């Protein structure tokens, strides 16, 4: 079992809770200080939110061994991903455990049709990788 599988089996929910807390804190502080920004020539609100929230997204992507892109972000979707990732993370953890059990049984029983493939393809492993790919796709939705 690799580290990203352990991460998806439940730690992703805890990390997502911290990301949600950080997102809420960044939004509240940025919105409270927004009137003061009218007198200065700081970054735009959009750039400020990206600079606060993109590193948290990159950390989540690095934990599943995905290469975080350094591209432009959609701020609204970045905020929504930060806010709803614990709820989605619970589903990912359940799917990860289900796929891991399927992987175990597929390894023990083999292919039900009796045509085990010698090249090492395992349907259980493919299901675990599909869960990882779905979580990565969810996290990268904010990238343009």
Give the model confidence (pLDDT) of 23-73 as tens digits.
999 999 998 988 777 777 777 888 889 999 999 999 998 888 888 777 788
Residue 45 confidence (pLDDT): 84
Q: What is the mean pLDDT of residues 81-99?
A: 92
The per-residue pLDDT of the chain, averaged, comes to 84
List the chain domain ranges.
Answer: 3-111+120-142
Nearest to 59 by CA among 9, 16, 10: 16
User: Is pLDDT larger for residue 77 or for residue 126?
Assistant: 77
Question: In this prediction, what percent of the chain has a pLDDT beyond 70?
Answer: 90
The number of helix segments (H) and strand segments (E) in the chain equals 6, 0
Residues in the chain: 144
Q: How confident is the model at residue 109 (pLDDT cuts 50, 70, 90)?
A: confident
Q: What is the mean pLDDT of residues 80-88?
A: 94
pTM over 0.85: no
User: Is pLDDT larger for residue 21 or for residue 46?
Assistant: 21
Q: What is the CA radius of gyration of the chain?
A: 19
């Amino acid at each position: 079992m690799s580290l990203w599988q352990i991460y998806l089996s439940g730690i992703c929910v805890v990390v997502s809770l911290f990301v949600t807390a950080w997102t809420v804190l960044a939004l509240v502080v940025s919105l409270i200080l927004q009137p003061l920004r009218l007198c200065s020539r700081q970054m735009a609100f959009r750039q400020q939110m990206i600079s606060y929230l993109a590193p948290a997204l990159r950390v989540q992507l690095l934990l599943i061994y995905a290469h975080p892109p350094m591209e432009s972000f959609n701020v609204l979707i970045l905020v929504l991903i930060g806010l709803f990732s614990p709820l989605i993370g619970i589903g990912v953890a359940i799917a990860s455990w289900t796929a891991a059990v399927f992987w175990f049984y597929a390894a023990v029983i083999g292919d039900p049709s009796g045509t085990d493939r010698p090249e090492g393809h395992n349907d259980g492993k493919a299901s675990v990788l599909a869960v990882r790919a779905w979580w990565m796709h969810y996290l990268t939705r904010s990238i343009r």
